[in-house]
């Protein structure tokens, strides 16, 4: 923990894709943080120019070794989705004395996908005296943190339902492939069976976090991928979808407790939703006492909000007990305009 | 803090009005808590019978002295609204070794209305090694905790707006008087000027908590009470309002920062809203990057949810650092079906 008055919090950014770039732009406007190192593939570029703002005088490096000896408080890690893919990057940051905030979907609740690696990260974080957190918007907020917060106003909850209907237009070929966009309905079904179409990553993480926080036992999770078939032509910078083809995927996961559906998470994502006036929203329904029905319209845009959630977590992660943490273990989140 | 396995958390309830009774009914269904004492005016009655469920074998006492020597972990205090009115009850609980959760509006953020008393409570709580928390729905959730949680997804916030449109039909003569229900519009204005009509208690508390949590400086708060005039006859068990009379009050408070309205809280409350199809809802609008617009419809019903927020805070308060705490300092809230 950096004591007040001891200077700004020193941040390293690893990964300067969409999320990392947005996090950098937010950080550059916050007075009590300073970006002291950036590792990404735009080697040699000035950080500011690489993210579309004024030059900062800080050059991007390609390899972590080039930051050897740098003193920093925390690393914002915006590289990969899976725990196995970011484990070594987290280990490097911890061994370099930094706390870590990761945006990878599985890192929101790493105990779901990779309990052994989660244990390894936890042990290393405790040894380093630093905390590690995964955060984002989905998973990491709409389908877990926000329903938990709302649940605090309930005396009883029979079932918890969240739907996030979002626009997939900004995404490129690789992401489109994972949703089966542009396929025929028949090919979509075949690709679901072979795993080429795999939809959203994060349901197990959202369900895992909520079950842990509330103390529910979820016996198993069943998921289903349903094609959203275009009735009109859909266009994005990356793809054109003709009527009859797949415009997106409605991915649903249901966590069962004692045979009853306890947590129902539905995530329809599609390209060019305006072409058919498809509504975009985040909705949460807690069926209980009282029943609470919430809607955010339009849905919280994922990119900026994920970067904001990372930056807004800096103070809480620096103050957290050492170890691997979930958002359910940290204080009520909030924007931190000063940087921490 | 009660260690796991050391038996249920022992709870004392002080005040068995609407909120205290609802809290008792929730507690009686939760396995890891036990109500060990109740102080209220229904002296000698069985707790269960007093709150409309099966007999519990626990008799209600009238005075705290009658619980002398009782060992308890935490006191749920549901008596009065103002810090000055509950200060001595909190002191008694702390001196008896209990943590405290209070439902009084000013206790949500006691530093606003009574900084000296807040300081006194904080000092006493630290000496006792216990935490004290005020919680509820409004103030305590819709206009402060929930906007803070949502703000964590924002990179910037220019202005924060919350409207809670709620049904005042359940309330009796004293509460109706504070809203001016049944008055002529002219008398309403006169009673606002003399303070007989004073509207909602809690704006300063909600604004104070958010400003502290976010790090905003609010220079001053201006509030206004506007009459809601009936166009149709409104009826409740407590009052009949004729067309042209006051059916409720729209109370608005605006917190300014550097001359700009930064926090705008609006709370229209009226009797028999269905008579004119008045909509009931909680809405939060964060004007920023991204702008987030949230609506809960109908509004979260205040009574049950306030009792639930109290009960759901037990574990967090027992685990909190000793002292006077705000919800902004505690972990992300959630329902606790086991009791803690």
Select from B149, B297, B300 the Cβ nearest to the Cβ of A333: B149
Select from B145, B296, B309 the Cβ nearest to the Cβ of A332: B145
The rounded distance, in Å, linking the Cα atoms of B121 and A138 is 40
Given a cut of 60, whether residue A2 has pLDDT beyond it is no
Select from A154, A308, A313 the Cβ nearest to the Cβ of B155: A308
Q: How far is CA A121 from CA A100, A133, B143, B148, B151, in A?
A: 11, 11, 38, 30, 29
Taking only Cα atoms into account, the Rg of chain A, rounded to an integer number of angstroms, comes to 20
Q: Is B216 on the interface with A (CB under 8 A)?
A: yes
Instruction: List, as ranges, residues 93-152 from A with C-beta within 8 Å of B.
Output: 137, 141, 145-146, 148-152
pLDDT in tens, A182-217: 999 999 999 999 999 999 999 999 999 999 999 999
pLDDT in tens, A37-84: 999 999 999 999 999 999 999 999 999 999 999 999 999 999 999 999
pLDDT in tens, A73-112: 999 999 999 999 999 999 999 999 999 999 999 999 999 9
pLDDT at residue A243, rounded to an integer: 98
The chain-wide mean pLDDT, for chain A, equals 96
Beta carbons of B152 and A334 less than 8 Å apart: yes
Q: Is A301 on the interface with B (CB under 8 A)?
A: yes
Global pTM exceeds 0.80: yes
Span A306-322, average pLDDT: 98
Q: Is B27 on the interface with A (CB under 8 A)?
A: no
Band (B4; pLDDT cuts 50, 70, 90): very low
> Percent of chain B at pLDDT above 90?
96
Question: Tell me, what's the ipTM?
Answer: 0.97
pLDDT in tens, A130-183: 999 999 999 999 999 999 999 999 999 999 999 999 999 998 998 999 999 999
pLDDT at residue B120, rounded to an integer: 98
Span A218-237, average pLDDT: 97
Band (B284; pLDDT cuts 50, 70, 90): very high
Given a cut of 80, whether residue B173 has pLDDT beyond it is yes
Local structure of A200: helix, strand or coil: coil
pLDDT at residue B339, rounded to an integer: 86
Residues 6+ apart with CB under 8 A from B202: B105, B106, B108, B138, B139, B140, B143
pLDDT in tens, B99-146: 999 999 999 999 999 999 999 999 999 999 999 999 999 999 999 999
Beta carbons of A305 and B330 less than 8 Å apart: no
Span B307-330, average pLDDT: 98
> Percent of chain A at pLDDT above 90?
96
> How do beta strands B99-102 and B131-134 pair?
parallel
Q: Would you say B272 and B292 are in contact if contact means Cβ atoms under 8 Å apart? A: no
Q: Phi first, then psi: give them for residue A311, nearest 5 degrees.
A: -65, -40
- Let me know if B318 is exposed, middle or buried by CB neighbors in 10 A (0-12, 13-18, 19+): middle
Local structure of A92: helix, strand or coil: helix
């Amino acid at each position: 923990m950096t004591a007040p008055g001891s200077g700004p919090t020193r941040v390293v950014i690893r990964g300067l894709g969409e999320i990392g770039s947005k996090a950098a732009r937010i950080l550059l406007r916050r007075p009590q943080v300073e970006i002291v190192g950036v590792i990404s593939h735009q080697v040699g570029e000035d950080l500011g120019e690489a993210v579309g703002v004024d030059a900062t005088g800080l050059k991007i490096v390609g390899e972590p070794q080039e930051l050897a000896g740098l003193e920093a408080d925390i690393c914002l890690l915006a590289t990969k989705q899976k725990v196995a893919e970011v484990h070594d990057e987290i280990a490097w940051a911890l061994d370099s004395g930094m706390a870590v905030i990761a945006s990878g979907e599985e890192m929101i609740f790493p105990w779901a996908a990779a309990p052994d690696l989660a244990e390894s990260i936890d042990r290393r974080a405790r040894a380093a005296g630093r905390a590690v957190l995964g955060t984002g918007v989905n998973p990491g907020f709409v389908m877990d943190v926000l329903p938990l917060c709302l649940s605090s106003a309930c005396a009883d909850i029979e079932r918890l339902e969240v739907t996030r209907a979002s626009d997939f237009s900004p995404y490129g070929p690789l992401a489109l492939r994972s949703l089966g966009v542009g396929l025929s309905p028949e090919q979509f079904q075949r690709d679901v069976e072979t795993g080429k179409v795999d939809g959203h990553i994060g349901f197990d993480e959202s369900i895992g976090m909520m079950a842990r926080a509330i103390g529910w036992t979820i016996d198993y999770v069943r998921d289903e991928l349903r094609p959203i078939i275009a009735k009109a032509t859909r266009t994005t910078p990356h793809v054109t979808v003709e009527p009859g083809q797949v415009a997106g995927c409605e991915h649903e996961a249901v966590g069962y407790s004692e045979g009853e559906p306890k947590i129902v998470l539905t995530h329809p994502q599609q390209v060019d939703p305006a072409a058919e006036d498809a509504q975009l929203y985040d909705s949460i329904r807690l069926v209980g006492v009282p029943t609470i029905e919430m809607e955010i319209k339009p849905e919280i845009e994922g990119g900026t909000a994920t970067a904001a959630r990372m930056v807004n977590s800096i103070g809480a992660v620096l103050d957290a007990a050492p170890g691997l943490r979930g958002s359910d273990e940290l204080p009520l989140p909030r924007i931190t305009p000063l940087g921490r």
